Structure 1
């Protein structure tokens, strides 16, 4: 688990950590340059040379792997003296970060690692600690010193600090540490149990629950858009790289951070409210990346459905609730009562089934379909206390038959 805390370094410590970030960025770019040169030297024909450029790298030179580049760091410190000021394991994790991106690129087939510009490297990692670095209200970081920390919540008993990531936000004016803690206790998978609900995410209503309740969507960016536009206009009029330009950029960065934190707080509170309503939650497996590229991308990015689903999954795991994502295709085009296909355009906000006459809000009907699909997908072996509505699943091809004795049964809910 990861716990995030705010830290308050002094001016010397803040300047030192900014210098570490810049050095880590240069090490990252140097390792990436070596990697790209080796790849380009092997990309041409064996019996001819390129007419544009030639990479003179001997054929017996091995691939610059993580271990090879990591072992080159001590030799590099002799000519690059600034590396001696940075903790050795911080530099090693920087090389590890590059090769993690490279391995992910090989699996996906796209997303080749890119060079980092000035200011784009915003975190570094201490991968291990011999002792707990948090003592009282301070955290001890090697070669940096003791830094005051705001312990917003204590570390649970039985957990050990494994690593610490130092993060820079708002252009170096705010610092955080992400503390990774670990325990030997194994947590089993949560089975389907208790009351089950389905949720449908949208822009008219942020989340609509299958029981008819819904959550309005706060427009985080739109509410602050006028102020953000004013600050950005002021920053654009300043001379670039001047002191006043930097002050104006800090104000813009702090407002962006405030919008992001407000959105994240709303997501957490909504996730906890959903866990208060039910012990089993089904949600649409939305393609958040595709939504962020559509014609409603500004509103979708402001709502941040992908972040909400990730946080909801985490909150469900923490509170012992069952969570699963289901296929969202056709949930708003299917009647949850009879399973008939009811075609609707996006501007039609009411669901009216011509087969059975069922009428409700479009998002409510979609949430009911999400619930039915989720109950149909979960195998019976993975269920705890089965709900009464888990019998007939309208709109699904593999609906299970319900015994006559269970038809019309009701389920008692906890108050």
Structure 2
């Protein structure tokens, strides 16, 4: 099975926008109610047996089972018969909101994420339809359950042979969008190591440094707009909360945030295609991105968007038939790519790699990218050879 998600902008009528807003509020209340039910159950078990707690006690009977996705779906089905607002919303769509809450708890248990939080007014920005009728796309319209035909701007065509599996309606400050998940009953082979390979090293001075010697400067998307953002945030804080002027100011602030995010994603996509030109393999560092975001330069690391860049690069490599692999990132800046001698730690001010063992000298980031290339070629069974012009190439081992 092969899935792709297409994003199109919707052009709903005022009546449909009102329906979307009402549905989002209903989904928010269902999410908060289900979360409160689970939270109360957990709190009821926090009371010690030998003493009575001052901040919590048994608020649910001891024999009551733990709320799960299945049990809450049954409760939702019963509540829809008596609640007018729940009855107006598609039942499967409400169940997807409960499934979203279930995934939040699974992430908390398995991935060490925080406890799920309640969503205030305006924080629920999407709802999904897990099933659609026959031929939902019709001449610039999409047919959504209960809502009906909604006009959309289909900027590109969908490949033939796919089945539309899911539609997610998303609210952004620039308008309403729909994410269509299309599935094809085919198995696409993963790209295999072939051709010339390059290693890349990401950083704050240069966004990307390649083993071939290319240095691509990092655009400062958020930092360049920080002064304007500060001004807009001051204007928001000076308005009366909830007034029309306050809403206008918050819209301007949100538009700037979306503009920064769109510019960053556009740069990442163009850069990923540029790196895939004339190469068959790309190797990157397997970085601890969470640790980088919490460090002294966390704001600049988040502005660069290394995690989003690696995801987009991996997708682009798959689309263009380029082999992509992450390698160990430890001591890539402390090893000489020419003789594999460990030169020791370098300060951030040292921008040139100079080996005291063999005398090899090059840019610090290029040297790290070359070490990444050597490790990647060794992982796929290639030997490394240095040419007279200072380039490293991989030779397959027979």
Q: What pairs with 1:371-386 in structure 2 (closer than 5 Å)?
A: 371-378=373-380, 380=381
Deviation at 1:93, TM superposition (A): 0.2
3-state SS of 2:326 partner: strand
CA distance in 2, matches of 1:10, 1:393: 63
Q: What pairs with 1:70-219 in structure 2 (closer than 5 Å)?
A: 70-170=73-173, 173-219=174-220
Structure 2 residue aligned with 1:403: none
CA displacement 1:176-219 (0-9 Å, x = unmatched):
11111111100122211111110000111110111011221111
Structure 2 residue aligned with 1:39: 42
Structure 2 residue aligned with 1:345: 347
8 Å Cα contact 1:372-1:393 kept in structure 2: no
> Structure 1 residues 90, 282: CA separation in 2 closer, same or farther (over 3 Å shift)?
same
8 Å Cα contact 2:40-2:59 kept in structure 1: no
8 Å Cα contact 2:283-2:373 kept in structure 1: yes
CA distance in 2, matches of 1:139, 1:263: 30
Gaps of 5+ in 2: none
Gaps of 5+ in 1: 381-389, 395-407
User: Which shifted more, 316-325 or 215-224?
Assistant: 215-224
**Do structure 1's residue 391 and structure 2's residue 394 form an aligned pair?**
no
User: Which shifted more, 281-290 or 140-149?
Assistant: 140-149
8 Å Cα contact 1:32-1:98 kept in structure 2: yes
RMSD, aligned CA? 2.0
Deviation at 1:55, TM superposition (A): 3.0
Work out which of the residue numbers 363, 366, 381 in structure 1 matches 2:365. 363
Deviation at 1:50, TM superposition (A): 2.8
TM-score (norm 2): 0.92
> Structure 1 residues 302, 324: CA separation in 2 closer, same or farther (over 3 Å shift)?
same
CA distance in 1, matches of 2:278, 2:218: 19
**Do structure 1's residue 27 and structure 2's residue 30 form an aligned pair?**
yes
> Structure 1 residues 109, 287: CA separation in 2 closer, same or farther (over 3 Å shift)?
closer
Structure 1: 4+ residue segments shifted above 3 A:
45-49, 408-412
8 Å Cα contact 1:373-1:393 kept in structure 2: no
3-state SS of 1:338 partner: coil
> Structure 1 residues 151, 26: CA separation in 2 closer, same or farther (over 3 Å shift)?
same
> Structure 1 residues 39, 393: CA separation in 2 closer, same or farther (over 3 Å shift)?
farther
CA distance in 2, matches of 1:329, 1:26: 46
Structure 1 residue aligned with 2:12: 9
Q: What pairs with 1:272-291 in structure 2 (closer than 5 Å)?
A: 272-291=273-292
